[in-house]
Amino acid sequence: MTNNTTRVSLACVLSATALLAGVAAPAATAAPAAPHADAGHPARQIPFTAAEVTARGDGGYEITWRAPGVRQVAVRANGRTVAVGGATGRVTVRGLPAADRQWFDLVPDRGQRLRLADRLIELDGAVNFRDAGGYRTKDGQWVRMGAVYRTDSLDKLTDADLAKLKRLGIAVDYDLRTASERSAAPDRLPQGVRYVVANVAGDDSPVFTMPTSAAEAEQMMIDGEKSMVSGEPAKAAYSAVFSGLVRDPDGVLYHCTAGKDRTGWASAALLTALGVPRETVTADYLASNTYRAEANAAALAALPAGQAAVYKPLLDVRASYLNSGFDEVEHAYGSFAGYEKKALGLDARELRRLKKDLLVG
């Protein structure tokens, strides 16, 4: 398939998802950086092999972790210990004061602490706004939370949402959408946030035609994912995002309309570049199905059953879509390292800087 063909497919995918996507599901919280461990002192490294914070519907938080070789882990919030456990733990914490994001420090009796929050950021006007961090890399470091965020469309943000984004420290917004999407639903942003257009699809799009079968819709998504890897507008757009991340990774936000396809590849590429395992990258990508479930169900419920079956693949994220992107990386660049260099414009020095700034442990 030529680049022109895949770009046509991407334009069709974006037209379809923009028509069908409603407001997406809210996202999870992130955390500030912890000090880097001294490589010569393994005991000072982060000992957690798994850890997660999940906000509960009753206002409480569930915190889970695994830290082999550790005898005790103290869970701290707001300057005090709120739970204690062993090498493996699952605790529920209730009664904490309301906060934009509730942070927890997991403090082991040996090694470096880990700071986490729920990945999802609750907003009134967006449903897929979440932290890109909080994941463990293959070599045992963790992607810092509270630095980089991903989301769906920002046009419906309320004044309260804008105030929350201001408090979160959002400094730059990379808009991955086409000109028509931006015109129809312009971003609402806190005052002072730098706005950058990074149009993944380009604007020389063909006349859009909706698919006529579920199989055709699924193939559109697969072809669209490939175009996000090797299409010329996509390479320019993602290169702009990554060069910005290298310059300053704090307070970065990138988004498209549904926060799942163009945004999904941005996060998949970032996490892969940072050394996060493919299985974890895929799980992060597929999480849009959870966060967008209510909005997607409402969109499909408004359609006749036959039409809904055809359009459902356009609203989903599926492993086959993401896998086609990684397959295109191998086909077009030979390896992910080749993609980093030739498509994203990252050299070895910039990649080291990105890891230094965004990884802890």
List domains and CATH numbers for the chain.
3-28+121-360 (3.90.190.10), 31-118 (2.60.40)
Residues 6+ apart with CB under 8 A from 160: 124
pLDDT at residue 259, rounded to an integer: 98
Query: How many CB atoms sit inside 10 A of residue 91's CB?
Result: 17
Which backbone phi and psi does 49 adopt, to 5 degrees? -95, -15
Q: Strand pairing partners for 172?
A: 194, 252
Check if 12 is active-site. no
Q: What is the mean pLDDT of each run of 10 residues along the chain (361 residues)?
A: 41 60 38 37 78 95 98 97 98 95 97 98 97 98 98 98 97 97 97 98 76 96 97 98 97 98 98 98 98 96 96 97 98 98 97 98 94
Q: Strand pairing partners for 77?
A: 80
User: Which residue in 23, 24, 30, 256 is the catalytic one?
Assistant: 256
pLDDT at residue 207, rounded to an integer: 59
Question: Per-residue pLDDT tens for 22-33?
Answer: 433 333 333 333
pLDDT at residue 194, rounded to an integer: 98
**Sheet arrangement for strand 172-175:** 130-131, 148-151, 252-255, 172-175, 194-197
Termini Cα distance of the chain: 42
User: What SS3 string covers the chain?
Assistant: CCHHHHHHHHHHHHHHHHHHCCCCCCCECCCCCCCCCCCCCHHHCCCCCEEEEEECCCCCEEEEEECCCCCCEEEEECCEEEEEECCEEEEEECCCCCCCCCEEEEEECCCCCEEEECEECCCCCCCCCEECCCCECCCCCEECCCCEEEECCCCCCCHHHHHHHHHHCCCEEEECCCHHHHHHCCCCCCCCCEEEECCCCCCCCCCCCCCCCHHHHHHHHHHHHHHHHHCHHHHHHHHHHHHHHHHCCCCEEEECCCCCCHHHHHHHHHHHHCCCCHHHHHHHHHHHHHHCHHHHHHHHHCCCHHHHHHHHHHHCCCHHHHHHHHHHHHHHHCCHHHHHHHCCCCCHHHHHHHHHHHEEC
Cα R_g (the chain), whole angstroms: 20
Chain position carrying tokens 């971003």: 187
Question: Per-residue pLDDT tens for 119-134?
Answer: 999 999 999 999 999 9
- Packed helices 293-301 and 305-315: angle between N→C axes, nearest 10 degrees: 150
Chain position carrying tokens 């407001």: 23
pTM: 0.89
Q: Strand pairing partners for 149?
A: 131, 253
Q: How many CA atoms are closer than 13 Å to the CA of 332, on its beta-carbon side? A: 24
